[in-house]
Structure 1
Amino acid sequence: MVLFEGVDCKKLGGLNCSSIVDIESKMKDPLSCIPYATDIYRNIRILELDHRLSFNYMETVQQDITPNMRGILIDWLVEVSEEYKLASDTLYLTVNLIDRFLSQNSVEKQRLQLLGVTCMLIASKYEEICAPRVEEFCLITDNTYTKQEVLKMESLVLNLLHFQVSFPTIKPFLRRFIQTAHLSYRESSVELEFLANFLAELTLIEYSFLKFLPSLVAASSIFLARWTLNPSDHPWNPTLEHYTCHKASELKTAVLAMEDLQRNTSGCPLNSIREKYRQRKFKCVANLTPKKPISLLF
């Protein structure tokens, strides 16, 4: 099975097609949209390039806010998403909308939280079956902002984005790559899924990760999660390289930066994501760190 029609395996790192597992033939979940999966992921790979986020807007656009303020906002929004039991897709889209708005409009720090809850409101309407009401988002800010202020900001954000809110985030790539990892290694690990999701969510808070494409962050999460759980086995194989379209060497910079986040080498005080994944329902994966430095692989 070929991921991109007309693509030669040799162009994907000289891979032998016989060593690539056809994951579509092994999927049983009808929600995987198996007949259309190749076209879907080809399309979102194109979209992530066409709609790539600005990774220096703090320096070029913003005058009153900093990367640290952005991190504090997102850390708080993680708590909000847990409070309202929102899907992880909603959180990823919320952060994407915040960054898109900030890359084009200068925002005063007093209105940054307003932007955050408004983007979560928009993302909830797009992703959730039953989105929280505007009043609930006002309440979560201790009524710092009125319903009218939130609705006005919603109109401002949507008009700035020309009502386009369907942007590729890390999550759809991560979902696909987790399936690939499970099927290509002929093992299904709940820990791998939780750990990869934990590592990917850690990057949301870090402004520096905007320079990486969503697909690359998702692939790096799988790479580091597999290394953390099983350092005796190389975390990358031909099937993962084929379906992610990323060689192990291309992941190096992102993986090393992600390992620093995982080990919390900078002593980051923003702990909402860590506390979330320390829960038993997530197998306490936030407590896991690699037994061997990931740099040994590169």
Structure 2
Amino acid sequence: MRKGANIEEPTFRVTRARAAACKPSVGSEAPKGQGQDRLLRKNPKRSVLDEKNNNTRVSSAQNKRRAVLKDVTNICCDNNSYKNCIIPAKITKKTTKITKKNPIKPQQVSAQTQSTAVDHIDLDKSVIHQKGTHIAERENTNRIGKRVGSQLQSFSKKGRNNINEKTIIATKVDFTDIDSDEKDPLMCSMYAHEIYNNLRASELIHRPHSNFMETMQRDVTQSMRGVLVDWLVEVSEEYKLVPDTLYLTVYLIDSFLSQQYIERQKLQLLGITCMLIASKYEEMCAPSIEEFCFITDNTYTKSEVVNMEGQVLNKLNFQFSAPTTKTFVRRFLRAAQASNQSPSLELEFLANYLAELTLIDYNFLVFVPSNVAASVVFLARWMLDQSRHPWNDTLEHYTSYKPSDLKNTVLALHGLRSSDISSPLNAIRSKYMQDKFKCVASLPSPQVPETLF
């Protein structure tokens, strides 16, 4: 069996150069025999050439040879190691071009090649040196930045301590700090200042219109509104609701009347519906709809109350959380009694009495709740003690109002208090004539001189 017969042709890509190299020359034949079979078995992928063609390929390939990089995987970035591994290809091209035009001796070519390689090495050295310089500068900058940052932090701490010391000194001299008691978590001493700053901004946004009786309502008058509020005071006393529920009820009524026309036959329905919503918001156990229907002698049905509740909530976009006069009265009464050994209940009852009187009068919608609350405290202190000025630095600090800012409101409140004695709307007066409120409604109302402002 012949082994040479089973040998296949070598499978590789045939280019024009290989085809020209593999083409047999004229007058020469490839040697045949056992030696050829032995060569094919040793390396089947190489074609058998004669010496002439082989020499021609070698000489033609010398001009196309490129520079080869040595293995540099384990060479460190030292100066000597770069000299052994870099053989630039561009230098070879330049030397080959030069040799074509002007032949140079081999010693000169090697010297030029070495000088060019040394130039590349010098460039690499300068690049490495620049990188090292940048790294060193960056480290120095970071070091300096950390040092400066620590110094600034120490300076800022010292500055804060100095500011705090100055604030404490100013607090001791100018006004009394009513938020210094941090033991009671219910007082929110740490956040009280931010909370009331937010409320002061909110009272300017969520305000009913002060002229909706003239612009929106044609069937409802100011006196009708006063009668409704006076009756709601009795309802809140009947069901023992908290004061915030009454204030929020009046706020919801005014906000709805500012945006929606309503007939007088549905005014009482609006009143009990707003009290139902306020009770759900403020009370722990709100009265049921049936109880509010019963208090109106079943004038309105449950379905009518539910329907009105949806109208109110949709008209107000479910935004019925707003600061009222009661919200600020609590804060300002605490500031008014900052220097007292014990709280004055009479001052608190009198301030609450004056504040509830403003709910009946439609004209007090012109003033913001914080201004009304400050005026209430101002007049209550004056009614209880005319021997000293009712305003001090502590009240001015926490209310942000000077006496001159409260002049119009205090005078309007004083007139309302004087006319309340003869007013037919006596629900608030009867409430504060009780002994549990120390009968503050029966206190005389002295004149308010202009010198107080």
The TM-score, its normalising length taken from structure 1, stands at 0.91
| 2:243 partner amino acid | S
Whether 1:195 aligns to 2:361 is no
Residue of structure 1 in register with 2:230 after alignment = 75
Residue type at the aligned position of 1:127: E
CA distance in 2, matches of 1:216, 1:138: 36
Aligned to 1:125: 280
Q: Matches of 2:338 and 2:202 in 1, distance apart?
A: 26
2:270 paired residue among 115, 119, 123? 115
**2:207–2:255 CA contact under 8 A, matched in 1:** no
How far does residue 33 in structure 1 lie from its aligned partner after superposition?
1.2
Partner of 1:285: 440
Work out the CA distance in 2 between the residues paired with 1:203 and 1:100: 16
**What CA distance in whole angstroms lies between the structure 2 residues aligned with 1:294 and 1:117?**
41
1:11 aligned residue: none
* Superposition deviation, residue 187 in structure 1: 5.1
Listed as ranges, the matches of 1:211-226 within 5 Å are 211-226=366-381
- Structure 2: state its 5+ residue gaps: 1-169
- Quick check: 1:66 aligned with 2:204? no
Identity of matched residues, %: 62
SS of the aligned residue for 2:331 comes to helix
Indicate which of 396, 404, 414 corresponds to 1:259.
Answer: 414
Deviation at 1:17, TM superposition (A): 7.6
Structure 1 pair 167/287, CA: closer, same or farther in 2 (3 Å)? same
Shift of 1:50: 1.2
Aligned length, in residue pairs = 284
Partner of 1:237: 392
Is 1:204 aligned to 2:359, yes or no?
Answer: yes
Work out which of the residue numbers 192, 205, 213 in structure 2 matches 1:50: 205
Which secondary structure does the structure 2 equivalent of 1:35 belong to?
coil
Correspondent of 2:327 among 172, 188, 191: 172
Match of 2:242 among 75, 78, 87: 87
Q: Does 1:142 pair with 2:142?
A: no
Q: Which has the bigger relative contact order, CA under 8 A and spacing at least 6?
A: 1
> Amino acid of the residue matched to residue 388 of structure 2?
D
Residue pair 2:182, 2:189 contacting (<8 A) in 1 also? yes
Q: Which amino acid aligns with 2:250?
A: V
How far apart, CA to CA, are the structure 1 residues paired with 2:207 and 2:272?
A: 23
Higher-Rg member (1/2): 2
Shift of 1:39: 1.1
Segments of 5+ residues of structure 1 without an aligned counterpart are 1-14
> Could you state the TM-score of these two structures normalised by the residue count of structure 2?
0.61
**Amino acid in the other structure paired with 2:260:** N
2-side partners of 1:121 and 1:61: how far apart?
24
Aligned residue number for residue 8 of structure 1: none
Q: CA deviation at 1:56?
A: 0.3
Instruction: Judge conservation of contact 1:114–1:150 (CA < 8 Å) in 2.
Output: yes
CA distance in 1 between partners of 2:289 and 2:436 (Å) = 29
Alignment map for 1:92-103 (pairs within 5 Å): 92-103=247-258
CA shift digits 1:220-261 (9 cap, x unpaired) = 000000000001111100110110111111111111111111
Supply the distance in 1 between the matched residues of 2:183 and 2:402 (Cα, whole angstroms): 27
Query: Residue type matched to 1:79 in 2?
Result: E
Task: Tell me if the contact between 2:293 and 2:300 (Cα under 8 Å) persists in the aligned partners.
Answer: yes
